[in-house]
Amino acid sequence: MAVCIEVIAKENYPFYIRSTPTENELKFHCMVHTSLDVVDEKISAMAKALVDQRELYQDLLYPTEDYKVYGYLTNSKVKFVMVVDSSNTALRDNEIRSMFRKLHNSYMDVVQPLLQPGGLHPVQGL
């Protein structure tokens, strides 16, 4: 299980945050926020490479001693960030990927009807 899941807007403000040990919420927020640096780097690297982004999974963004932060980027640049306890060795790359895919599907189910025409930009405040 991931300890924290965040959905972050294209403009980098959080849409949705859920973390399981709530006492550490602030730490997760800071961690995820900091990891956006890496996501930004990846996005700009993708833009420079001028390649179509096919791989949504962004790999390990930000390893720390206790947690691993994984990223996932939708085509509309909505970011999913997942924090996983480092001691949880059961979670390999494939598990993380499939969790992200599930998260993406759920997100689309929620957000799809609210997409604004003309841009894949979900309504603010969702």
> Is residue 94 near another protein by the rule CB under 8 A?
no
> Is residue 63 near another protein by the rule CB under 8 A?
yes
> Is residue 22 near another protein by the rule CB under 8 A?
no
Contacts with another protein: how many residues (CB under 8 A)? 25
> Is residue 26 near another protein by the rule CB under 8 A?
yes
Please give the order of strands across the beta sheet that includes 14-19: 14-19, 2-8, 79-85, 67-73, 57-63
We find the least distance from the C-beta atom of residue 27 to another protein, in angstroms, to be 10
> Is residue 125 near another protein by the rule CB under 8 A?
yes
We find the least distance from the C-beta atom of residue 2 to another protein, in angstroms, to be 17
We find the least distance from the C-beta atom of residue 81 to another protein, in angstroms, to be 12
d(CA 73, CA 3): 19
> Is residue 29 near another protein by the rule CB under 8 A?
yes
> Is residue 119 near another protein by the rule CB under 8 A?
no
Q: Which residue has the tokens 């894949």?
A: 120
Which residues fall within 8 angstroms of residue 111, CB to CB, at 6 or more apart?
122, 126
Q: By the 8 A CB rule, do 20 and 4 touch?
A: yes
For residue 107, give the nearest of 66, 78, 77, 65 by alpha carbon.
78
Which of residues 1, 47, 59, 64 is near another protein by CB under 8 A? 64
